[in-house]
């Protein structure tokens, strides 16, 4: 394996399955229109839960994706990952064959893995006894299984692993996939995240932390990042996958180049299990590191897709971090949180938001932060309130932060802006 630090990494395909749509373009249309994908939970009876709504992927037919037999042997988060991967591969016009399989990797992050399977197994044990636990229990819920099954279904035999760093998981997956390509370990990597945490246990667990919004009377308005009346995040499910490859490999096969991944940096707060460090200093270091990696000045960034979870502490500290990194320019920099529309996909959030940053550059449209109603003096930047905005963007940043103090910043550049 040779060290190739000057290898450029580009995105040639995007696949999205999320609460706003079952495809990339349907989800993007919903984001640009400012629609909410949040509603009362329909996949199970939420009675008795403090929060009764979530961002569900409605209309998803798992049997159509993997077949009826395999649908019983794979968790929902894996099925979502397969669907997003197929769309990404189709856009990239990528064929995986015996000739190139060893050079195609898979890195799919998740915060939790197969929570639905875990909950069903625990219920079977408690209610019916040990002999009713499925023999597929472990293979279905393991956090690496989306990455593993995607490899099985696509034939990708290159490097394969699953970052698990809470809500930074899929941002880590993308950054580490790029590093893998740069050091010559793979030519192509299918990278992103998948999550299916909308279960009774998932909702109850986050309710116990007082982390979720309880705005049951108005679910569509519940996720309101940077708004003074935000009361918690909205749990959501979905998957987003990028096809990443070296620019030389993409050029050789005539692949469409959507963007170049020019910057990646990751840090940890080393502060608290769930609370960000004071002043957002860890997030600020990640953003600065990504700018350094990209060789860009702060003023080159035309849009930031914020982590923006709709919790009181996150937005205050992320705003402080943005001011630390961007200085006075922070007040002119468009920042939006698309979690206001999708809810929080936990480990899949970073992958989805990286994809959104690329689409924003592609179409010259910044998706809004909806549900902006009451100004917060601690959150005084331009959050693109309520309505999408036309803007020419050459470089976009996507921020992700996770329990455990994990911080990731990714920078994507338009091909022309990055010399591609």
Q: Which domains does the chain have, with CATH numbers?
A: 9-252 (3.40.47.10), 264-413 (3.40.47.10)
Q: For 96-118, what is the mean pLDDT? A: 97
- φ, ψ at 133 (rounded to 5°): -75, 130
Residue 180 vs residues 153, 155, 166, 206, 398: alpha-carbon distances, Å = 22, 19, 21, 34, 20
Tokens of 91: 């856009």
Cα–Cα distance measured from residue 32 to residue 24, given in angstroms and rounded to the nearest whole number: 12
Please name the residue that has the structure tokens 């982390």. 211
Nearest 10 degrees: Cα torsion 14, 17, 21, 23: 40
Top-confidence residue, 415 or 276: 415
Do the Cβ atoms of 343 and 309 come closer than 8 Å?
no
pLDDT for 393 equals 98
Cα–Cα distance measured from residue 398 to residue 412, given in angstroms and rounded to the nearest whole number: 8
Tokens of 329: 């320019």
Tell me: pLDDT of 2 over 80.
no
Residue 386 vs residues 120, 153, 170, 307: alpha-carbon distances, Å = 39, 40, 27, 17
Catalytic residues: 167, 307, 344
pLDDT for 278 equals 76
Tell me: pLDDT of 128 over 50.
yes
- What percent of the chain clears pLDDT 90, i.e. is strictly above it? 91
pTM of the model: 0.96
Tell me: pLDDT of 53 over 80.
yes
Cα–Cα distance measured from residue 325 to residue 328, given in angstroms and rounded to the nearest whole number: 9
- What percent of the chain clears pLDDT 70, i.e. is strictly above it? 98
Tell me: pLDDT of 347 over 80.
yes
Please name the residue that has the structure tokens 């639905």. 116
Cα–Cα distance measured from residue 168 to residue 29, given in angstroms and rounded to the nearest whole number: 25
Q: For 377-402, what is the mean pLDDT? A: 97
pLDDT band with cut points at 50, 70 and 90 for residue 271:
confident
Radius of gyration of the chain (CA): 20
Residue 17 vs residues 102, 343, 411, 419: alpha-carbon distances, Å = 27, 13, 22, 31
Tell me: pLDDT of 180 over 90.
yes
pLDDT for 167 equals 96
Over residues 311-326, the pLDDT tens digits come to 998 899 999 999 999 9
Side-chain half-sphere CA neighbours of 115 within 13 A:
19
pLDDT band with cut points at 50, 70 and 90 for residue 403:
confident
- DSSP assignment letter at 414: -
Please name the residue that has the structure tokens 């996770």. 402
């Amino acid at each position: 394996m040779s060290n190739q630090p000057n290898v450029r990494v580009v995105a040639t395909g995007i696949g999205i399955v999320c609460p706003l749509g079952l495809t990339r373009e349907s989800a993007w249309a919903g984001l640009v229109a400012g629609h909410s994908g949040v509603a009362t939970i329909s996949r199970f009876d939420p009675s008795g839960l403090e929060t009764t709504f979530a961002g569900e992927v409605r209309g998803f037919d798992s049997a159509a994706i993997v077949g009826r037999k395999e649908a019983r042997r794979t968790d929902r988060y894996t099925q979502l990952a397969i669907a997003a991967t197929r769309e990404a591969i189709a856009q990239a016009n990528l064929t995986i064959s015996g000739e190139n399989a060893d050079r195609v990797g898979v890195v799919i992050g998740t915060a939790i893995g197969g929570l639905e399977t875990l909950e069903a197994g625990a219920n079977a044990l408690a209610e019916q006894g040990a002999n009713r636990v499925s023999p597929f229990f472990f293979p279905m819920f393991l956090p690496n299984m989306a990455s593993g099954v995607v490899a099985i279904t696509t034939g990708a035999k290159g490097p394969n692993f699953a970052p698990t760093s809470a809500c930074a998981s899929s941002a880590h997956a993308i950054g580490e996939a790029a590093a893998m390509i740069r050091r010559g370990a793979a030519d192509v990597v299918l990278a992103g995240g998948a999550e299916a945490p909308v279960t009774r246990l998932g909702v109850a667990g986050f309710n116990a932390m007082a982390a979720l919004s309880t705005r049951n009377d108005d679910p569509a308005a519940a996720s309101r990042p940077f708004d003074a009346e935000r009361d918690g995040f909205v749990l959501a499910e979905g998957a987003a996958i990028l096809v990443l490859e070296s620019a030389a490999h993409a050029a050789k096969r005539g692949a469409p180049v959507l963007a170049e991944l020019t910057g990646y940096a990751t840090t940890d707060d080393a502060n608290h299990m769930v609370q960000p460090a004071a002043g957002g200093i860890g997030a600020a270091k990640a953003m600065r590191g990504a700018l350094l990696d990209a060789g860009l000045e702060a003023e080159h960034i035309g849009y930031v897709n914020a982590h923006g979870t709709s919790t009181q502490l996150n937005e205050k500290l992320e705003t402080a971090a943005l001011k630390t990194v961007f200085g006075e320019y922070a007040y002119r920099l468009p920042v939006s949180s698309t979690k206001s529309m999708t809810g929080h996909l936990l480990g899949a959030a970073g992958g989805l938001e990286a994809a959104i940053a690329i689409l924003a550059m592609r179409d010259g449209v910044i998706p809004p932060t909806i549900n902006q109603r009451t100004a917060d003096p601690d959150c005084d930047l331009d959050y693109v309130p309520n309505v999408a905005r036309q803007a020419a963007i050459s470089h976009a940043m996507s921020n992700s932060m996770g329990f455990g103090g994990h911080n990731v910043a990714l920078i994507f550049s338009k091909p022309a802006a990055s010399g591609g």
